[in-house]
A and B are shown apart, each in its own frame.
Chain A
Amino acid sequence: MALTRRQFIQIGGAAVAGGAVASGLASRWWGLDRNRVEDPGTDGDRVVASYCELCFWGCGVLAHVKDGRVTKVTGNPDHPLSRGRLCPRGAGATGLLYDPDRLKRPLVRTQKRGEDAFQEVSWDAALNKVGEGLLELRRRHGPEALALFSHGSGGTWFKHFMKAWGSPNVGAPSYAQCRGPREAGYLLTYGTPLGSPEPIDIAHARVITLIGSHLGENMHNTQVQDLAEAIGNGAQLVVVDPRFSVAASKARFWLPIKPGTDIALLLAWMNVLLEEKRYDAEYLAQHANGLEELKAHVAGKTPEWAAAITGLKAELIRDSARFIAAARPASLVHPGRHTTWYGDDTQRARAMAILAALLGSWGRRGGYLTYNKMGLPPYRMTKELPHGGKGAADKPRDGGYPVAGEVIASGLCDAATPGHALYDLKGWMVYGCNLIQALPSRKQTIDAIQNLDLLVSIDVLPAEICGWSDVVLPECSYLEREDDVLAPPWREPFLALRQEAVPPLHESKPGWWIAKELAGRVGLAEYFPWKDAREYVDARLTLARHDVAEARRRGVVLGKKGPVCEEEGLPIDLGTDSKKIELYSQELKRLGFDPLPQYVPQEEGPAGHFRLLMGRAPTHTFGRTVNNRLLAEPYPENEVWVSAAAAQALPGFPGPLRNGERVWLVNQDGARSGPVRAKVTQRIRDDCVFLVHGWGQGAKRLRYAHGKGASDAELVTRYKVDPIMGGTGMSVNFVRLEPVGRIA
């Protein structure tokens, strides 16, 4: 071993270099140095066009199917509502499809109602049980004693069943618990309700005024697309909200109003418009009745008057009014959607409608449009549906709610209490609406349920209402079924098809099948002559001479765009009896209500309490999506928004409430919900708290959502009924916060 130092270094160096070269060559030869960045491979072998059912908007989707699984759901570029773009819920449909907690087999209750004890049974056994129950109900109480609560497009089959069965009692919480007051307010003013999607021209508006609407957080896809487009084109926002909403953060004017005082603000805005002659006089002269009465009504209702009521600075009210007026007629007062707040909601909607009229925006570009619907002939039935029968039992025995344009769901609930309505309801079918969260006063709902002879629910997930049902029928999700054609009114009328992307999982069944099978068991089979939903839809499309294959490939049939506003040549046509905009409502006067909106102070809450406000998150649709694991990732549970100022010294708290800490919410009647994480923020007034609706689920079979967050519904023990249309104002509850340590 006689190596020199030099040799040693040389050999060592050569070894290292050799090793490096060898490893380099080895890498090269074996392809080890190639950077593999995999294609995730989620493009489908098959792409099925359909429309979405994660909310009610009905956007067109493309379901990518690979090896029998839906890998992803994307927007259908041909569909006018999605334009190829989806909100998170739409994109998260696979989270519903593959939700491990889905209803898998029919369930029959084994113990007392509400104990949530069920047995899995076969479809035959379940359907026979429902059939026998229905026949017994009809024998003892007549067909009208059955009510259907239905939300979602699959409900059409059950609505058809109800027609064949002979009951008018078909309702949904989407009216009297949601957009009803708005529909009534616009119906009274313009002679037509707005419906869904709302015929408003956000895209072309130059100023958009949102009153309690948090568009962007309520993710109505097309409206949000239009809103962004408008903002991109320089449109300005005026946002009235006690909370610094997402829309408020983009607004030129944010008016952090004291909850319950919107009508005062609206009257003051009108006062500015009328006093300063900023309204569209020519338009009103031509199209409206009652301007003089309105002028007299708002005289004196100055910004200074409203400032004392609303907690807003008079200058802010005046400046925002001028700003709104300056953009008319392309100054859009958004009508809102969830409008059941304080029981005087129809009057607030009236005030908004009147403001829109002063701006001359009804029937004009950038304002309210007239949409068109694409007709489609009905399926040719051999047997005509029965006519006549009793009216709906959705109103109290002594009458009321004369302007209600749809069946009042809360009224159907009340009608289960003997003697409340003209006749009693004895059976409920509930399709896709969780009445426990949707209706006000949970106790009242449960008491009503205990009066029923039969409660059947049809759902995809084991919602709370399923736990109270006698029979639970598992429907498959929208990706696993065919449904009726959707033909909503729109700028350019269209038809959209619901198509099965993958066969139903587990033992779930599509709604059309369940309805048809039920009909067969109660002697109504001849009203369901179609083989299946596909044959039903194809027959209708064929009758209208549409290319069925092409329609199924694209998922939509587009109609011809007609004029939708005055600028496009469509004359302003009003549906009121007077054929005029009813600034002063003769109808309301006749019915004994205020013909012009009045500001009536709301009751204040007890000391140390905050008014409970509710709203939406873009990732969730009511309580329907809270168990969706995919959507839970960016939004795992709701939070109670508490003003940072108020959080400094909350009664009962040893120190300041910290952001993220959990608290209980306890309302004025002692109802509690939580524990829920507190979002301590500058973004809300200090006299109210805010919750996103749908959380605090009591359904233990929703294993993800169960017990997460807090339920505003649980805290709505009180509500104020709108005497005009029967809406249930629910923002009349007050909560205090309680530290979690207090009760274990």
Chain B
Amino acid sequence: MSARFAMAVDTVRCVGCNGCVIACKTENAVPEGGFRDWIAQEVHGVFPDLSMQIRSERCNHCAAPSCVDACPTGASHVAQGGIVAVARNKCTGCKACIAACPYGARYVHPAGYVDKCTFCLHRVAKGKAPACVETCPTRSLTFGDLADPESPVSRLLRSRRYAVLREESGNRPQVFFLA
């Protein structure tokens, strides 16, 4: 069975330190102003009855990716293990994928092509975890293969409550936020 890569983000552990963001930026040489992952803090309530969720967000590597559908050239594609990637040799920079993404996960690289999280495809291919996962001081991020029922991410999703972002988009996002 082929791999289905996914990520679980433990919002209970995460403190929103941005370690994932900086590690990603240096690992992937992300240009200034570009973000492949980022921290969102969502506060509910009125003082002093408050709750807050902290999320390390990135491309959701959707199983039904609207960005791939929107791409006229096939540059946005589904790569190994369901990872949604942009082939920069094919990208015209028409930005239809950016408009199509419900998560704002894509940006235009100064070189002209559209760039986004690749789940560190280049690391995953070598059997390593994505840079954000590797550095996360709170170990909030778990990356793995959903096709393998014994993978840590599969086990986490079996045992914990979780939600995905903008489920109504119909994109079937594959980044799961543990609560």
Contact = CB atoms under 8 A, between A and B. Distances in A.
Tell me, yes or no, whether A and B come into direct contact in the complex with CB atoms closer than 8 A.
yes
Interface of A: 32-42, 71-75, 84-92, 94, 216-217, 219, 221, 224-225, 227-229, 231-232, 244, 246-247, 249-250, 254, 256, 618-619, 629-631, 633-635, 643-645, 681-686
A73 B19 contact: no
The 4 closest A-B pairs by CB, nearest first: A228-B138, A216-B15, A35-B87, A249-B52
B166 interface: no
Contacts of B122: 37-40
B26 A630 contact: yes
B94 interface: no
B25 interface: yes
Contact of A682 (B17, B29, B50, B137): B50
Interface string B39-63: 1000101111011111000000000
Contacts, number: 168
B3 interface: no
B89 interface: yes
Given A35-B77, A232-B10, A633-B35, A86 B23 contact: yes
* Residues of B in contact with A, size category: 35 or more
A35 B79 contact: yes
Given A72-B23, A87-B19, A250-B12, 12 more contacts: A35-B77, A42-B27, A71-B29, A72-B27, A74-B134, A85-B139, A225-B138, A228-B140, A643-B47, A682-B50, A683-B50, A683-B52
Interface in B55-85: 74-75, 77, 79, 85
Contact of A228 (B13, B38, B74): B13
Nearest to A64: B26
B97 interface: no
B121 A618 contact: no
Contacts of B136: 85
Interface string B89-109: 110000000000000000000
Nearest to B37: A634
B7 interface: no
B144 interface: no
Contacts of B50: 244, 249, 254, 682-683
19 contacts: A35-B75, A37-B85, A37-B87, A42-B26, A42-B28, A74-B23, A74-B131, A85-B19, A85-B137, A88-B18, A225-B137, A225-B138, A228-B140, A249-B50, A249-B52, A249-B54, A630-B25, A633-B32, A644-B47
B33 interface: yes
Given A36-B88, A630-B22, A630-B26, A87 B46 contact: no
Nearest to A216: B15
A37 B28 contact: no
Contacts of B135: 74-75, 85-86, 91
Nearest to A686: B47
B21 interface: yes
Contacts of A645: 47
Contacts of A250: 12
B173 interface: no
Contacts of A88: 17-19, 21-23
Contacts of A635: 18
A89 B89 CA distance: 34
A73 B122 CA distance: 18
A208 B100 CA distance: 45
A645 B22 CA distance: 34
A569 to B, nearest CB: 30
Nearest to A634: B18
B16 A35 contact: no
Contact of B47 (A36, A39, A683): A683
Best-surrounded residue of B13, B19, B77, B136 (most CB of chain A within 10 A):
B19
B146 interface: no
A36 B87 contact: yes
B174 interface: no
A88 B138 CA distance: 12
A216 B140 CA distance: 13
A683 B51 CA distance: 9
Contacts of A41: 29
Given A635-B18, A683-B43, A36 B89 contact: yes
Contacts of B43: 244, 681-683
A317 to B, nearest CB: 14
Contact of B17 (A73, A224, A247, A629): A224
B154 interface: no
Contacts of A40: 27-29, 122
Given A85-B135, A94-B26, A231-B12, A618 B18 contact: yes
Contact of B137 (A35, A224, A254): A224
Contacts of B39: 634
Interface in B100-158: 118, 121-122, 131, 134-140
B86 interface: yes
A186 B50 CA distance: 34
B18 A224 contact: no
B90 A254 contact: no
Contacts of A246: 15-16, 52, 54
Contacts of A254: 48, 50
A86 B118 CA distance: 21
A35 B68 CA distance: 13
Nearest to A250: B12
Contacts of B13: 228, 231-232
Contact of B25 (A39, A244, A633, A643): A633
Nearest to B13: A228
Contacts of B29: 40-42, 71
Contact of A86 (B54, B87, B90, B137): B137
B90 A35 contact: yes
A421 to B, nearest CB: 41
Contacts of A683: 43, 47, 50, 52
Nearest to B122: A39
A89 B77 CA distance: 34
A634 B48 contact: no
B139 A228 contact: yes
Contact of A35 (B12, B17, B45, B85): B85
Nearest to B26: A72
Contacts of A87: 17, 19, 137
Nearest to B21: A634
Contacts of B19: 85-88, 90-91, 618
Q: Residue among B22, B46, B90, B136 with the most chain A CB within 10 A?
A: B22
A59 to B, nearest CB: 9
A244 B53 CA distance: 12
A219 B33 contact: no
Contact of A634 (B26, B38, B88): B38
Contacts of A224: 15, 17, 137-138
Contacts of A39: 122
Contact of A229 (B47, B54, B74, B139): B139
A281 B139 CA distance: 38
